[in-house]
Amino acid sequence: MSVDPSVVRRIAHLSRIAVDDNEVSRLNGEINAILSFVETLSSVNVEGVEPIASVLPMQMKKRPDVVTDGGIADDILVNAPAREDHYFVVPKVIE
């Protein structure tokens, strides 16, 4: 399988990464090189093989459903590029 420039633009948008025209053609070549590299997997017989869920037979750990943390709004906001009181500030999303 290979991709064309329109697919590259679509992937870039899904990834929320802005790309300009020059980049699209470069990325197109690079992505196709990687896709052709992984193409070999289509020749592996995977009939009846389960997709791996965990490398080790481990049971997902559970803990009591109680609050163990909190009250650290200042810590959480300290690295935000834009904040007001205890809120993250983002561009307007609802007109």
List residues near other proteins by CB under 8 A.
1, 3, 7-8, 11-19, 27, 30-31, 33-34, 37-42, 44, 46, 49-52, 54-56, 58, 60-61, 63, 72, 75-76, 78-82, 88, 90-93
Which of 6, 39 has the CB closer to other proteins?
39
Smallest separation (angstroms) from other proteins to the CB of 68: 9
Q: Give the separation between CA 3 and CA 76, rounded to whole angstroms.
A: 40
SS3 73: helix
Smallest separation (angstroms) from other proteins to the CB of 2: 11
Smallest separation (angstroms) from other proteins to the CB of 78: 6
Strand partners, 88: 83
Strands 87-88 and 83-84: antiparallel
Q: Give the separation between CA 4 and CA 28, rounded to whole angstroms.
A: 7
